[in-house]
Amino acid sequence: MPDFPLTLAGWQDAYRAGATPESLLTDLLDSFAEQDNAWICRATTIQLDAQLKHLAQLLEQAQGDSSKLPLYGVPFAVKDNIDAAQWHTTAACPAFGHVAQADATVVARLRQAGAILVGKTNLDQFATGLVGTRSPYGAVPNSFDPAYVSGGSSAGSASVVARGLVPFALGTDTAGSGRVPAGFNNIVGLKPTKGWLSTTGLVPACRTLDCISIFALTVADADLVAQVAGGFDASDAYARRNPQRAPVAIATAARLAIPDRLEFFGDSQNQAAFEQALVHLREQGATLTPIDFAPFRALAQELYQGPWVAERTVATEGVDPADMDPVVRAIVANGHSYSACDSFKAEYRRAELARLINEALADFDALVVPTSPTIRTQAEMTEEPVLFNSQFGTYTNFTNLADLAALAVPAGLRDDGLPSGITLIAPAWHDRALADLGRRWQASLELPLGATDKRLPLASGLPRSTDCVRVAVVGAHLSGMPLNHQLTSRDAVLVEQTLTSPDYRLYALEGTVPPKPGLSRDSDGSAIIVELWDIPLARFGEFVAEIPAPLGIGNLELAGGRWVKGFICEAHALGRARDITSFGGWRAFIGAQSSRPGQA
């Protein structure tokens, strides 16, 4: 297969270098192997031409500036339980297949950003399974060793990303289908907060729990795709608006929870890989604290051993059981054994366990677990299709029931050459914070991208989040200072220490408790040291409400011309204040006073 770009940046670079979407995408489709059962269908010439025409229209609307289209000409795939207009949707059940009349909301948003759909991918039928083998189109092999399972149910989407056929693909995740295949194929699997990515146009598995997920080779790419595809959709009854109260990053000294008891079902290689990942996290500065994992295990068992399985029964009403995979048929049929009373009792139990889980995570930045405790061969899966599938869900099944966000990331290759992965889990809407931690984690490892021989490109930071306000603090709110807790208690995260432009003067205000400085713009000034903090957008008002006169928040110019919100001071208070500009910053001034008692 010819070399094609692997990441979003690679595709953008190729177009900037003169390649055209027509030539590059035609060559890409021509390179796909005819017998590759990761695909259920691929774009026809007519479908590709229609999308290229639409892309040209989008470019014209952008006045020829492709940078206004964040996914310009980027190919992608979708799991074949997600609708694309005029494409068949089968959910891996040919008898169920139908031609979709409209794009799923997420597909429409991706296409509007310039992305080109090149195919729909294989899955465990009706997204019921974590194995990738329950499909009439064939079992999708692991991209590292075809004797092993690929993981499911989003098997095909993970496979085509891992092999570099597309830079990203959509999957779904109800019980771990967006994470287990990522772990088994050395790629990133982003399982978003429920309700962030619309499920309009998705064939449901468990409608109250379903999430559309994203596979990519890098955390940065997965995050960018999520930002494009996500957002409130009134047509989805389970969509939610982001309350914008969660942190958007995680400090280097991350506070991470780990299960107090770990189960690997005899897989010593996965156990060794996870233990090594914990060592690496500590080396990166993280603190790891064991927590009681019993509520997580108890909730995980509810998904298939409780009445939630009846949601799968509802989702497949009207489908002839004879047309179903035998294992899927047995699972779906089990939904009839539960009563309405059972459902309410289970919901009460779910709420109780979810509360315990979220309380357990409240003092941590994230929970770290193995993505899967073990991996199995396709032959083994044939012998124990239900038991081994259940094992794969040990660290995934509870996530949506507890309303958590998750990010599966590569963690290294085992001694036998198979991938291992870890998953970072946090409360709802902490997706961006997990992406920040995951990006740093991935950058710290020298791993190949998926099953390719290429390495992670030079790491860069995530684009600035729109869910926060960046504020420059100059005095008592600096790290370690008396009022810094007003930031940290609101999940604000330190971004960097930097300087203002050289047009400011700093004053020690009279009579303030604790002592505070005042910053004033002055053309005859100097650069002053400040810290930049990102405060969740919905908590910014709380923070500002605590700022006493004569201080306030205004616009502050930084060195290099950037502007942020920052502390300013009313002019009337400066007449009685001491000019301390020469110190270059509040910390140096306070340090000087500490060494000279009695000096004001």
Q: What single string gives the DSSP state of each residue in 403-434?
A: TEEEEEEEEEE-TTS-EEEEEEEEETT-HHHH
| Domain edges within the chain | 8-444, 468-594
Same CATH topology for 8-444 and 468-594: the answer is no
Let me know if 465 is a catalytic residue.
no
Report the topology of domain 468-594. Hypothetical upf0131 protein ytfp (3.10.490)
User: DSSP label at 20?
Assistant: -
Given 135, 143, 150, 153, which residue is catalytic?
Answer: 153
Q: For residue 176, give the 3-state DSSP assignment.
A: coil
pLDDT at 2: 60
pLDDT at 600: 40
Measured CA to CA, the distance from residue 399 to residue 426 in angstroms comes to 9
pLDDT tens-place values along the chain, 600 residues long: 568 999 999 999 999 999 999 999 999 999 999 999 999 999 999 999 999 999 999 999 999 999 999 999 999 999 999 999 999 999 999 999 999 999 999 999 999 999 999 999 999 999 999 999 999 999 999 999 999 999 999 999 999 999 999 999 999 999 999 999 999 999 999 999 999 999 999 999 999 999 999 999 999 999 999 999 999 999 999 999 999 999 999 999 999 999 999 999 999 999 999 999 999 999 999 999 999 999 999 999 998 888 999 999 999 999 999 999 999 999 999 999 999 999 999 999 999 999 999 999 999 999 999 999 999 999 999 999 999 999 999 999 999 999 999 999 999 999 999 999 999 999 999 999 999 999 999 999 989 999 999 998 876 678 999 999 999 999 999 999 999 999 999 999 999 999 999 999 999 999 999 999 999 999 999 999 999 999 999 999 999 999 999 999 999 999 999 999 999 999 999 999 999 999 999 999 999 987 765 544
User: DSSP label at 571?
Assistant: G
pLDDT at 599: 47
Let me know if 66 is a catalytic residue.
no
Q: For residue 84, give the 3-state DSSP assignment.
A: coil
Let me know if 191 is a catalytic residue.
no
Given 143, 150, 177, 372, which residue is catalytic?
Answer: 177
Q: Where are the beta strands (DSSP E) in 509-557?
A: 517-521, 529-536, 551-557
Q: Which of 321, 361, 381, 351 is nearest to 148 (CA)?
A: 381
Measured CA to CA, the distance from residue 168 to residue 183 in angstroms comes to 15
Which is it for strands 287-291 and 255-259: parallel, antiparallel or unpaired?
parallel
Residue 192 near residue 213, CB atoms below 8 Å: yes
Measured CA to CA, the distance from residue 118 to residue 111 in angstroms comes to 11
Superfamily for 8-444?
A: Amidase signature (AS) domain (3.90.1300.10)
Half-sphere exposure of residue 451, counting CA atoms within 13 Å on the CB side? 23
